Structure 1
Amino acid sequence: MTSSFRTVVLKYALVLLACSIVIYPLLWMVTMAFKPVAEWTTGNGLTWFPKNPTLQNFEYIFFGHTAGLAVSLDRTVIGPLTASLVTSICGTVLAVVAGTLSSYAVVRHRTLPSLAISVLQLRLFPPLAVMIPVMVMWAFIGAIDTWWGLSLIYGIVTLPFAFWLMKTFFEEIPVEIEEAARVSGSSHWRVFYRITLPIVKPGLATCVLFVFIINWSDYLLALLLTQKNWVTLPVFMSTLNSAMGEMYGMKAALGLIAAIPPVVLGLLIQKHLVRGLTFGALKQ
Structure 2
Amino acid sequence: MKPSPGALALKYLFVLLACAVVLYPLLWMVTMAFKPYPEWTTVAGLTWLPKEPTWQNFEFIFYGQAEGLVVSLDRTITGPLVASLVTSICGTLLAVVCGTLSSYAVVRFGMAQSLPLSVLQLRLFPPLAVMIPVMVMWAFIGAVDTWWGLSLIYGIVTLPFAFWLMKTFFEEVPVEIEDAARVSGCSYWRVFYRITLPIVKPGLATCALFVFILNWSDYLLALLLTQKEWVTLPVYMATLTSAMGGQMYGMKAALGVIAAIPPVVFGLMIQKHLVRGLTFGALKQ
Q: TM-score with structure 1 length normalisation? A: 0.98
The 2-side partners of 1:3 and 1:254 are apart by: 45
The 1-side partners of 2:158 and 2:113 are apart by: 20
Q: Counterpart of 1:263 in structure 2: which amino acid?
A: V
Per the alignment, in what secondary structure is the counterpart of residue 240 of structure 1?
A: helix
Q: Counterpart of 1:252 in structure 2: which amino acid?
A: A
Q: Name the structure 1 match of 2:63.
A: 63
**Equivalent residues of 1:158, 1:214 under 8 A apart:** yes
* Displacement after TM superposition at 1:69 (Å): 1.2
Comparing 201-210 and 33-42, the one that deviates more: 33-42
Q: What does 1:85-124 align with in structure 2 at a 5 Å threshold?
A: 85-124=85-124
Identity of matched residues, %: 81
Q: Counterpart of 2:232 in structure 1: which amino acid?
A: T
**Equivalent residues of 1:223, 1:235 under 8 A apart:** yes
Q: Name the structure 2 match of 1:261.
A: 262
Q: Name the structure 2 match of 1:187.
A: 187
Comparing 263-272 and 238-247, the one that deviates more: 238-247
Q: Counterpart of 2:272 in structure 1: which amino acid?
A: K
Deviations 1:96-115 (A, max 9, x none): 00000000000000010000
Deviations 1:118-166 (A, max 9, x none): 0000000111111111000000000000000000000000000000000
Distance change >3 Å, CA 83–CA 244, structure 1 → 2: closer
**Equivalent residues of 2:202, 2:276 under 8 A apart:** yes
**Equivalent residues of 1:240, 1:246 under 8 A apart:** no
The 2-side partners of 1:53 and 1:62 are apart by: 18
The 1-side partners of 2:219 and 2:161 are apart by: 18
Q: Name the structure 1 match of 2:132.
A: 132
**Equivalent residues of 2:92, 2:208 under 8 A apart:** yes
- Unaligned runs of 5+ residues in structure 2 are none
* Displacement after TM superposition at 1:247 (Å): 1.1
Q: What does 1:231-242 align with in structure 2 at a 5 Å threshold?
A: 231-241=231-241, 242=243
* Displacement after TM superposition at 1:43 (Å): 5.5
Q: Counterpart of 2:18 in structure 1: which amino acid?
A: A
The 2-side partners of 1:243 and 1:263 are apart by: 28
The 2-side partners of 1:12 and 1:104 are apart by: 41
Q: Name the structure 1 match of 2:9.
A: 9
The 1-side partners of 2:76 and 2:222 are apart by: 17
Q: Counterpart of 2:142 in structure 1: which amino acid?
A: G
CA RMSD, Structure 1 to Structure 2 (Å) = 1.2
Q: Counterpart of 1:39 in structure 2: which amino acid?
A: E
**Equivalent residues of 2:38, 2:44 under 8 A apart:** no
* Displacement after TM superposition at 1:243 (Å): 5.3
Q: Does 1:82 align with 2:90?
A: no
Q: How many pairs does the alignment contain?
A: 283
Q: Name the structure 1 match of 2:155.
A: 155
Q: Does 1:271 align with 2:234?
A: no
Distance change >3 Å, CA 272–CA 72, structure 1 → 2: same
The 1-side partners of 2:124 and 2:170 are apart by: 24
Distance change >3 Å, CA 70–CA 44, structure 1 → 2: closer
* Displacement after TM superposition at 1:3 (Å): 7.0
The 2-side partners of 1:50 and 1:147 are apart by: 38
**Equivalent residues of 2:169, 2:281 under 8 A apart:** yes
Q: Name the structure 2 match of 1:45.
A: 45
Distance change >3 Å, CA 101–CA 243, structure 1 → 2: closer
Q: Counterpart of 1:251 in structure 2: which amino acid?
A: K
